[in-house]
Amino acid sequence: MTIKHEETELLKNQISSIQTLKMLYNTLTTLAITALLSFTTTVQAGAEPIRLLVESNYPEVNNTGLVFKEETPAGTSYVFFGNPSNATLLDWDGSDIYTSSLSAITEYLNVDSEFVIATNTTRSDKQLYFDDEYLTVDENDEGFYACLHAGDPLNYSEGQYELMYYPDGQSRDGCVDVKLYRIAGV
């Protein structure tokens, strides 16, 4: 009978130890999640809300704003020219330009081949940055164009100018050069 009592006590101690470890695991997990959420909020809280507007010698696109339109099931948005008051609200954190106003997923502004897109995947190898409020790609503010018939998936560019990027200045027919500058997003 003493052996069973000792085994019972040993089993109780093991269960107690497991429960203590489980509580410790839950506490550490909660602390880690809280710290991660706090860090994420801090990073996003430091971002500057902006809108991108257009400067051009061509009146049909001058003083317009950039509007993002989701065109693929994967959530890729293409960038078009529209009324500046409807320009997509973006965030600039000093290294990335992104938006979460289109969906629950953060989408980053990227250059993909000649298309300027917003996507939830990693950013492209081209660095988007601001120099004296003007958007640059790899420190060059040249190469942005407003283009018709650009070949976007849903063919919005058949009747609306789409933002494209041609760093060598060799744009397709139907394109006009533009510069993009930021204003405080209100």
Q: Which phi and psi (to 5°) does residue 35 adopt?
A: -65, -40
Q: Which of 15-24, 111-120, 131-140 has the lowest mean pLDDT?
A: 15-24
Domain 48-184, CATH number (from 2.80.10, 3.40.50, 1.10.10, 1.20.58):
2.80.10
- Are the C-beta atoms of 54 and 146 separated by less than 8 Å? yes
pLDDT over 70 at 113, yes or no: yes
| Residue 163: closest CA among 85, 67, 50 | 67
C-alpha span between 156 and 69 (Å, rounded)? 9
The pLDDT of residue 121 is above 90: no
| pLDDT at site 57 | 96
Tokens 């010698």 belong to which residue?
57
Count of Cβ atoms closer than 10 Å to residue 135 Cβ: 21
Q: For position 20, what pLDDT does the model report?
A: 59
Other Cβ atoms less than 10 A from the Cβ of 144: the count is: 26
Considering the chain, what percentage of its residues have pLDDT values greater than 90?
A: 45
Looking at this protein, which amino acid is placed at residue 37?
L
Which tokens belong to 18?
């497991």
Query: What residue ranges do the domains of the chain occupy?
Result: 1-45, 48-184
* Residue 38 binned pLDDT confidence (cut-offs 50, 70, 90): very low
